[in-house]
Amino acid sequence: MAKMTMNGGKIDVKWEAGKMVVFDDSFEHEVINETGSPRVLLIFDMVHPDMTETMFRELQEWEQNLKEQQQAMMAQAAQMESG
| Band (75; pLDDT cuts 50, 70, 90) | very high
Contacts of 5 (CB under 8 A, 6+ apart): 12, 13, 14, 15, 31, 32
Question: Does the pTM exceed 0.85?
Answer: no
> What distance in Å separates the CA atoms of residue 21 and residue 19, rounded to the nearest whole number?
7
What DSSP state is assigned to residue 73? H
For residue 78, report the phi and psi dihedrals to the nearest 5 degrees.
-65, -40
- Over residues 17-38, the pLDDT tens digits come to 788 887 777 778 888 888 888 8
Q: What is the pLDDT of residue 70?
A: 94
